[in-house]
Amino acid sequence: MSLIELKNLTLGYDKDIILKHINMSIDENDFICIVGPNGSGKSTLVKGILGLIKPIKGKVIYNGLKQNFIGYMPQETKVDSSFPASVYEIVLSGTLNSNEYKLFYTKKQKEEADKNLKILGIENLKNKCFCDLSGGQRQKVLLARSLCATSKLLILDEPSNNLDSKSKADLYKTINDLNKNYGITIIMITHDLDHDNLIGNKILSLRENDIFFGSVDEFVRRIHND
């Protein structure tokens, strides 16, 4: 079943067109990696899917999926690493999209935060200060926060940025597990194109006048034939 359909989507800022004529379907259980050089429109496409910018042409169709129930982990987090917040407080803040202007978190929201800490294997960090964590631990905490916003779709903007190879491999294993074992559809912007890090089942490659959307195997064959 399709969660989101992009129909002849053209995106940009004012009259500056960044992407045009994007047609694709994001299906349940997909793991789509978006690749391409800097300036190719990867983040612009994500903003279009999230409804943060309006299409210049075409449309984004949501099939039974509310925009504010998409989990989003931006490349640049708004969590100040020096702010004295606990891991639990940060993860719990991911439930705010469903808070409906209530002053206090509900029991259900707290249970959701605890569940996602456990899923990501970081329940032992619950009471630690975010500023004291390693880079890999911080990314898992932010991933848990994003997961609190959704049970269907996560959009991740270069989540492995600035991580060492061991932390990166561990994070990718976690993300892959969310897709395979928990049925979370993943859209991930990445610069990792070596075969060891090329995960997922589909690739969207954005290059000037050359847009590819298809399986990972098709993409690998395309690279070898170039």
Per-residue model confidence as pLDDT tens for the chain (226 residues): 899 999 999 999 987 999 999 999 999 999 999 999 888 999 999 999 999 999 999 999 999 787 778 999 988 665 666 668 899 999 999 988 765 556 688 899 999 999 999 999 999 999 999 989 998 999 999 999 999 999 899 999 999 888 888 988 899 999 999 999 999 999 999 887 665 557 889 999 998 778 899 998 888 888 777 6
Domain spans of the chain, in order of start:
1-70+151-226, 77-149
pTM comes to 0.90
User: Which of 212, 218, 168 has the alpha carbon at shortest distance from 35?
Assistant: 212
Q: What is the rounded CA–CA span in Å between residue 152 and residue 178?
A: 10
Residue range 1-70+151-226 forms a domain whose CATH class is: alpha beta
Sequence-distant (6+) residues with CB within 8 A of 91 are 113, 116, 117, 141, 144, 145, 148
Angle at 71 between CA 24 and CA 148, to 5 degrees: 150
